[in-house]
Amino acid sequence: MAKDKTLYSCTECGGTSPKWLGKCPHCNAWNTLIETVAEAAAAPAKNRFASLAKTAEVTTLADIEASDVQRTPTGHDELDRVLGGGIVEGGVILIGGDPGIGKSTLLLQALDSLQRSGQKTLYVTGEESGAQVALRSRRLGLDGSQVSVLAEIQLEKILATLEHTRPAIAVIDSIQTVYSEQLTSAPGSVAQVRECAAHLTRAAKASGTAIVLVGHVTKEGALAGPRVLEHMVDTVLYFEGDTHSSFRLIRAIKNRFGAVNEIGVFAMTERGLKGVSNPSAIFLSQHSEPVPGSCVMVTLEGTRPMLVEIQALVDTGGPSPRRLSVGLDRDRLAMLLAVLHRHAGVACMDQDVFVNAVGGVRISEPAADLAVMLAITSSLRGKALPKGFIAFGEVGLAGEVRPAPRGQERLKEAAKLGFSVAVVPKANAPKKNDKSFEGLTIHPVERIEDAMNLVRSL
Ligand code: TYD
Ligand code: MG
């Protein structure tokens, strides 16, 4: 495209400018101008959306048949779980995650089982050559795989192939490598990623092909992260877990066809990713004897309870002590330290405090509060919590311990795995005559100071 047809529009106010400027001339916001396709310039003869006009009928809600969406299971239970049962026709799924975490591996495995179940599939690779993909498929034990592969990064050619071959499911690996001729900016820039994803989304809706977009999350921000796409797609899945451990988690952040916050758990093996159907104990480290600074909690994100070990290390700090957390919110850690000081008299002002959720799992629910505080206190005092101990519960600024959602399910899981002592919010404690927590002594607490006193006496 000729340079003079390029247009830059502001992501804040929508104003346009014929050339790139650091500051938007309309709303004065900095760094908000990104390259866009000028409508008239891109398709002077016809409106470029004209082809879609016939697909947009206006009807009343009552006239639309609200049939339940048809889902095609991928054959991988843990992936289907986060998708809400399977892939939906015409649905667009974004899978994000750090490089090397297993996105390509999982999608190749999923495409292969879909192809074997009679679905037409297409794997568009922009990062690796066809030979590399074939090599990976052999390694995964997918010999004789009938998945079609297209090594291409130009959007227009990909769209033409989709139109021509009409697969049921297509994977674009990755969206950051795809570029459109309409734009002059480099592949991976915000403008390219947005434009390409918008075109692919439209193609999916018009043809019924389900499209999976792979996006890398980069820490440096040099490439446009998949975040800019979240609002365009139907489902957003993110890979979690550290690449050093073999476990990988997939979390649904957004799902127009299912529940959010559902988690799928996988283990990376010699032959690709394998679903872990009973993941409740994989995030515990194996201590033969209890050690100071460790407290196990039961987290319940999605539908399954999981036991996760929270570790804390409190050590003498310098003039400005550090507070660091891995897998937990750092602001919340600062808040909990203040509550601990004010309401339980545990002072860490001159100490460095590090907390970590074992196994690279990320815990966003406040039910981790009590376990974090107990782990910190345990590390500070150098005294381990009792063997078989678990705790969960949200702690408020006033020092109150608030109930966690579905506390009984969490306790049942802990009892099932042989834990023997639990400190939980009062509202989560079961009735006295409830027999389903056999072997688990449950101590209900109302305030953080009660919890601290109780733990000291155990
Ligand atoms: P990959 O799917 O290429 O990651 P992404 O597409 O998210 O960048 O995963 C690559 C990693 O997975 C690599 O470090 C090797 C490892 N791996 C296995 O451990 N087993 C396997 O069977 C395969 C194919 C990869
Ligand atoms: Mg890859």
Mean pLDDT of 303-317: 91
Prior bond to 174 cis, omega within 30?
A: yes
Q: Is the CB of 136 under 6 A from ligand 1?
A: yes
pLDDT at 222 over 70: no
Q: Is the CB of 418 under 6 A from ligand 1?
A: no
Phi, psi of 282 (to 5 degrees): -80, -15
The pLDDT score that the predictor gives to residue 69 is 76
Mean pLDDT of 228-248: 85
In what side-by-side order are the strands of the sheet with 33-37? 16-17, 6-10, 33-37
The pLDDT score that the predictor gives to residue 4 is 47
Q: Is the CB of 273 under 6 A from ligand 1?
A: no
* Least confident residue range of 17-21, 143-147, 224-228, 437-441: 224-228
The pLDDT score that the predictor gives to residue 218 is 62
Q: Is the CB of 100 under 6 A from ligand 1?
A: yes
The pLDDT score that the predictor gives to residue 53 is 63
CA separation, residue 61 to residues 52, 58, 68, 164 (Å):
21, 10, 15, 33
For domain 73-277, the question of CATH label 3.30.70.100 is answered with no
Q: How far is the CA of 173 from the centre of ligand 2 (A)?
A: 7
pLDDT at 79 over 60: yes
pLDDT greater at residue 403 or residue 69: 403
Q: Beta-carbon neighbour count of residue 41 at 10 Å?
A: 14
**Rounded Cα distance, 110 and 95, in Å:** 13
Buried b (16+ CB within 10 A) or exposed e, 417-437: bebebbbbbbebbbeeeeeeb
pLDDT band with cut points at 50, 70 and 90 for residue 196:
very high
Mean pLDDT of 50-71: 72
Can you tell me which atom of ligand 1 is nearest the CA of 103?
Answer: 7
Exposure of 251 in the CB half-sphere (CA atoms within 13 A): 14
- For the segment 100-127, what is each residue's pLDDT rounded down to a tens digit? 889 999 999 999 999 999 999 999 999 9
The pLDDT score that the predictor gives to residue 436 is 76
Can you tell me which atom of ligand 1 is nearest the CA of 101?
Answer: 7
Report the nearest-CA residue for atom 14 of ligand 1: 100
Q: Is the CB of 101 under 6 A from ligand 1?
A: yes
Report the nearest-CA residue for atom 13 of ligand 1: 100
**Rounded Cα distance, 376 and 6, in Å:** 56
Pseudo-torsion of CA 169, 170, 176, 180, nearest 10°? -120
Q: How far is the CA of 414 from the centre of ligand 1 (A)?
A: 33
The pLDDT score that the predictor gives to residue 168 is 95
pLDDT greater at residue 399 or residue 46: 399
pLDDT at 2 over 70: no
Q: Is the CB of 272 under 6 A from ligand 1?
A: yes
The pLDDT score that the predictor gives to residue 165 is 94
Contact (CB, 8 A) for 379 and 342: no
pLDDT at 310 over 80: yes
pLDDT band with cut points at 50, 70 and 90 for residue 374:
very high
Report which bound ligand comes closest to the CA of 272. 1
**Rounded Cα distance, 219 and 210, in Å:** 29
The pLDDT score that the predictor gives to residue 219 is 56
pLDDT band with cut points at 50, 70 and 90 for residue 433:
confident
- For the segment 375-419, what is each residue's pLDDT rounded down to a tens digit? 999 999 999 999 999 999 999 999 999 999 999 999 999 998 889
- What totals of helices (H) and strands (E) does the chain contain, helices first? 10, 23
- What is the chain's mean pLDDT, rounded? 88
In what side-by-side order are the strands of the sheet with 304-316? 323-326, 351-357, 304-316, 294-301, 389-391, 421-425, 441-445
Q: Show the beta-strand stretches assigned E in 317-427.
A: 323-326, 351-357, 389-391, 394-395, 401-402, 421-425
pLDDT band with cut points at 50, 70 and 90 for residue 223:
very low
Instruction: Tell me what percent of the residues of the chain surpass a pLDDT of 90.
Output: 57
Exposure of 55 in the CB half-sphere (CA atoms within 13 A): 11
pLDDT at 14 over 80: no
Single out the residue of 289, 308, 325 nearest to residue 390, CA to CA.
Answer: 308
Report the nearest-CA residue for atom 12 of ligand 1: 102
Q: How far is the CA of 103 from the centre of ligand 2 (A)?
A: 6
Mean pLDDT of 177-188: 90
Q: Beta-carbon neighbour count of residue 135 at 10 Å?
A: 12
**Rounded Cα distance, 39 and 52, in Å:** 15
Q: Beta-carbon neighbour count of residue 235 at 10 Å?
A: 24
Report the nearest-CA residue for atom 25 of ligand 1: 272
Q: Is the CB of 115 under 6 A from ligand 1?
A: no
The pLDDT score that the predictor gives to residue 274 is 93
Mean pLDDT of 137-157: 93
The pLDDT score that the predictor gives to residue 46 is 55
Question: Bridge-partner residues for 311, per DSSP?
Answer: 294, 356
The pLDDT score that the predictor gives to residue 221 is 40
Q: How far is the CA of 102 from the centre of ligand 2 (A)?
A: 7
- For the segment 152-161, what is each residue's pLDDT rounded down to a tens digit? 999 999 999 9
Q: Is the CB of 250 under 6 A from ligand 1?
A: no
CATH code, residues 294-457: 3.30.230.10
Report which bound ligand comes closest to the CA of 270. 1
Q: Is the CB of 199 under 6 A from ligand 1?
A: no
For ligand 1, mutation pick of 128, 268, 269 (most atoms within 8 Å of CB):
268
For ligand 1, mutation pick of 95, 98, 105 (most atoms within 8 Å of CB):
105
Q: Is the CB of 138 under 6 A from ligand 1?
A: no
